[in-house]
Amino acid sequence: ETGVTQSPTHLIKTRGQQVTLRCSSQSGHNTVSWYQQALGQGPQFIFQYYREEENGRGNFPPRFSGLQFPNYSSELNVNALELDDSALYLCASTFQGAYYYGYTFGSGTRLTVV
């Protein structure tokens, strides 16, 4: 098992720009979720992808969008960046099947918007 890999680890962007964050899910996993974690708070659910389709969304505006690819890797895109988008972005994967094994989280991408 290689775990969940996220890239880049750190990123600095200017307000108004667009950003793409990447996630390679754990081998054998078919579901990916994205979370935003502000400093000192618990992660907040952005959305989930299952078999390349969005399978649930949290309270985030449409400028947060995503993709899941046939190999189950995923991207999170954020348009028109705002200062409040500065946070740790976490990707988590799992296998949705007959039994729940828990989500494996990556170490995150730290995004700073200036």
Residue ranges binding another protein (CB under 8 A):
4, 33, 35, 41-45, 48, 55-56, 58, 90, 92, 94, 96, 100-108
Closer CB to another protein, 14 or 62, in the complex: 62
Angle CA(50)–CA(56)–CA(62) in degrees, nearest 5? 110
Shortest Cβ 26–another protein spacing (Å): 11
Closer CB to another protein, 64 or 103, in the complex: 103
Shortest Cβ 31–another protein spacing (Å): 9
Shortest Cβ 69–another protein spacing (Å): 20
54, 74 Cβ separation under 8 angstroms: no
Distance from C-alpha of 65 to C-alpha of 46, rounded to nearest angstrom? 9
Closer CB to another protein, 33 or 86, in the complex: 33
15-41 in b/e form (b: 16+ CB < 10 A) is: eeeebebbbbbbeebbbbbbbbeeeee
Distance from C-alpha of 107 to C-alpha of 101, rounded to nearest angstrom? 19
Closer CB to another protein, 16 or 97, in the complex: 97
